[in-house]
Amino acid sequence: MNMELSQQQRERKLLLIKVVHTVVWVFYNVVIFYLLYAVLTNRIDQWVWICLGLIVLEGLVLLVFKKMCPITVVARRYSDSTRDNFDIFLPNWLARYNKEIYTTIVFISVLILVYRLAMT
């Protein structure tokens, strides 16, 4: 029995992966920007710690997968594209620099958090 997927099946699977990947990306945007908002407004609550835990978890996942999102690893099975956004609904430039942009925002947020905690 031939287990090869048709091009249409590959495209459908990739579309589902792109939707899931984009939803996960949006979720982590909420997490990261809540963290930034909370430290800027000095509202250090349990959600800040939950956000940090989720960010650390995401960082560990990226370390295990050699700086690659596991969703991208799965998507690679269904596409030969070399574009940075082949597996997510983002502009190519944002997909390319996503880790650098969000790592910087998290780093700044953590610096502000440390400052806020040291000042109390």
Six token digits for residue 37? 């908002």
Handedness of CA 49, 54, 55, 61 (dihedral sign): positive
CB-facing half-sphere around the CA of 119: CA atoms within 13 A: 9
Task: State residue 5's pLDDT score.
Answer: 84
Task: State residue 3's pLDDT score.
Answer: 65
Give, to the nearest 10 degrees, the angle between helix 92-118 and helix 46-64.
Answer: 130
Confidence class for position 59, pLDDT limits 50, 70, 90:
very high
Q: Is the pLDDT of residue 2 over 70?
A: no
Task: State residue 34's pLDDT score.
Answer: 98
Percent of the chain with pLDDT over 70: 98
Handedness of CA 48, 56, 102, 111 (dihedral sign): positive
- The amino acid sitting at 56 is V
